[in-house]
Amino acid sequence: MTSVRLLKLKIKFLKPFSDTVGKNMVEIDFNGNTLNDLLKVMIKSYPQLKKEFYTETKKLSTYLCIFINDKPLSALNGIHTKLQDGDELVFFVPVSGG
């Protein structure tokens, strides 16, 4: 069994997530291990995020981009990425155009 430890995390939200949360950044004490654990905690605090983070089939939305310490989730272990004390996460939707 994996032990759960208290982590201090800094989470930045860009639009539209900052509108949903009502803040651009939060610092939290997180009692979990993985990004998946964190997403569950965030949805408990901000239920509207569930619709923004997940599809109707309960998969992470392809529009959701998450960076952990400046690395995209695709370069890490997806939602199973282990979080560490002091990690900085950014949640955003990529914008394209010219």
Sketch the domain layout of the chain as residue ranges.
Answer: 5-92
DSSP 15-35: TTHHHHHTSSEEEEEEEESBH
The model's confidence at residue 94, banded by pLDDT at 50, 70 and 90, is: confident
Q: What is the mean pLDDT of the chain?
A: 92
Instruction: Name the β-bridge partners of 94.
Output: none
Structurally, what CATH architecture does the domain formed by 5-92 represent? Roll (3.10)
Q: In terms of DSSP bridges, do strands 65-68 and 88-92 run parallel, antiparallel, or are they unpaired?
A: antiparallel
Which of 4-8, 58-62, 79-83 tops mean pLDDT?
Answer: 79-83
pLDDT tens per residue across span 32-52: 999 999 999 999 999 999 999
